[in-house]
């Protein structure tokens, strides 16, 4: 293991410096983290996989840029859940530190890429909703499938590049600089830059949704005043308003789940964290899985098209189950009729 400068509160550790960051000291804490990660992670993968299936199995949804961005968000949540649960449980619960610096930074880069892509997908979705509401007549010309796929490609490449900078050399071992108190091998300056990048994304999302909500309120007032005249246009605007409110709910859940983690990250840049706060950070990190688990539930409850696709899927499975249950009876009836004949 490469030797590098570690935080002052971890200098008492000897030998493998990875052990300095294993903050869960009791078996009860490890079991709690394992249960939370296992439950949230399993539900995240199942629910977001279901969202991806509902989107791309229906020609009506997979052709819409709005649902392409939602699909990108679901994919980011799936990747984050898998990588986070595997690496987090392996490190904090099983205290596995036999892997190299490069492997750890690769895992951390995967988690950071997924989270950054999740936020960026929300930003693209906010911009898409604003265009749909503010310029409905020009929306199809401005937001084409080609432009949507291009934006998603730029999004993922940018997030992956920024997240993998520590693996490419911006780490405290190569630079011989101060390491973060929260993440092994991560340079404090890089952590500060990554936090700024995330805060800029969050600020842009909040700014975009502020305009979306303002336009949504204007549309609600317009629909109430001209409900008899607008006809089909009224129905489309109502769907846009509903989807805008849904995505604001997603943003609110995102902020609630990630605010504690970001607050502790910011605090660690300017001050030393006690061992208790580092344990709190470990437990707060599991909130990202809760966020990824709640997002698909919001889609199913608020999105009319996805909820309709889900009902059709459940009805299809119900008919298959009924047919499977009825087949033995039908077979026995057929056999008895043949015997009688």
Lowest-pLDDT range of 104-108, 173-177, 223-227: 223-227
pLDDT at 243: 62
User: Are the beta carbons of 128 and 208 closer than 8 angstroms?
Assistant: no
- With CA atoms as reference, report the closest residue to 223 among 138, 306, 108, 133: 133
- List, as one string, the DSSP characters of 195-209: HHHHHHHHHHHHHHH
Predicted confidence at residue 209, as pLDDT, reads 78
Counting beta carbons within 10 angstroms of the beta carbon of residue 221, is it exposed (0 to 12), middle (13 to 18) or buried (19 or more)? exposed
DSSP state, 170?
-
Helix (H) / strand (E) containing 13: none
CB 248 within 8 A of CB 215: no
Question: In this model, does residue 10 exceed pLDDT 50?
Answer: no
State what percent of residues in the chain have pLDDT above 70. 80
Confidence of residue 226 (pLDDT cuts 50, 70, 90): low
Q: Is the pTM of this model over 0.75?
A: yes
CA atoms of 314 and 199, how far apart (whole Å):
40
CATH classification of 24-227+239-306 is 1.20.810.10, yes or no? no
Triad 286, 304, 312: Cα angle to 5°: 95
Least confident of 106-115, 181-190, 294-303, 326-335: 326-335
Quickly list H helices, 57-178. Answer: 59-62, 65-88, 101-134, 139-142, 145-163, 165-168, 172-175
Confidence bin at 335 (pLDDT 50/70/90): very low
Q: Is the pLDDT of residue 224 over 70?
A: no
The confidence score (pLDDT) of residue 239 equals 58
Task: Work out the mean pLDDT of the chain and round it to a whole number.
Answer: 80
Both tokens of 309, joined, read 């696709």
**Nearest-CA neighbor of 48 among 260, 288, 240?**
288
Alpha helices in 271-286 (DSSP H): 275-285
Helix (H, G, I), strand (E, B) or coil at 98: coil
Highest mean pLDDT among 36-50, 169-183, 318-332: 36-50
Kindly indicate the confidence band of residue 228, based on its pLDDT and cuts at 50, 70 and 90: low
Contact 166, 107 (CB under 8 A): no
Rama region for 238: left / alpha / beta (φ>0; ψ in -120 to 50; rest) = alpha
| CB within 8 Å of 221: residues ≥ 6 apart | none
For 118-134, what is each residue's pLDDT tens digit? Answer: 889 988 988 888 888 77
Q: Which two tokens stand for residue 82?
A: 């898998």
Q: What is the pLDDT of residues 277-306, one digit of tens each?
A: 888 898 888 888 888 888 888 766 677 788
State the average pLDDT over residues 177-187. Answer: 85
Give the pLDDT confidence of 19-29 residue by residue, as tens digits: 778 888 788 88
Residue 234: per-residue pLDDT: 57
Q: What is the pLDDT of residue 326?
A: 67
Whole-number pLDDT of residue 147: 92
- The partner residues of 29 in beta bridges, in order of sequence, read none
């Amino acid at each position: 293991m490469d030797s590098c400068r570690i935080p002052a509160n971890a200098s008492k550790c000897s030998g493998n410096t990875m052990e300095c960051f294993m903050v869960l000291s009791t078996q009860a804490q490890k079991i709690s983290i394992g249960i939370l990660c296992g439950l949230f992670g399993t539900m995240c993968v199942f629910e977001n996989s279901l969202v991806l299936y509902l989107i791309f199995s229906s020609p009506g949804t997979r052709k819409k840029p709005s649902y392409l961005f939602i699909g990108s968000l679901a994919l980011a949540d799936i990747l984050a859940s898998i990588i986070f649960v595997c690496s987090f449980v392996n490190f904090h619960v099983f205290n596995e530190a036999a892997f190299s610096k490069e492997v750890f930074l690769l895992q951390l880069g995967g988690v950071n890429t997924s989270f950054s892509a999740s936020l960026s997908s929300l930003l693209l979705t906010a911009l898409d909703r604003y265009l749909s509401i503010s310029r409905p007549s020009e929306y199809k010309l401005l937001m084409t499938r080609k432009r949507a796929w291009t934006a998603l490609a730029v999004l993922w490449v940018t997030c992956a590049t920024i997240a993998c900078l520590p693996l490419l050399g911006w780490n405290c071992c190569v630079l011989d600089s101060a390491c973060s108190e929260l993440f092994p091998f991560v340079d404090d300056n890089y952590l500060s830059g990554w936090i700024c990048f995330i805060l800029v994304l969050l600020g842009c999302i909040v700014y975009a949704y502020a305009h979306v909500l303002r336009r949504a309120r204007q549309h609600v007032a317009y629909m109430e005043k001209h409900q008899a005249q607008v006809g089909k246009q009224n129905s489309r605007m109502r769907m846009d308003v509903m989807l805008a409110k849904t995505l604001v709910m997603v943003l609110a859940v995102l902020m609630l789940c990630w605010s504690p983690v970001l607050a502790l990250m910011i605090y660690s840049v300017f001050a030393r964290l006690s061992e208790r706060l580092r344990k709190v950070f470990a437990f707060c990190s599991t909130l990202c899985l809760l966020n990824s688990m709640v997002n698909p539930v919001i889609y199913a409850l608020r999105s009319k098209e996805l909820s309709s696709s889900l009902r059709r899927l459940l009805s299809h499975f119900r008919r298959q189950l009924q047919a499977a249950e009825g087949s033995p009876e039908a077979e026995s009836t057929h056999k008895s009729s043949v015997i009688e004949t």
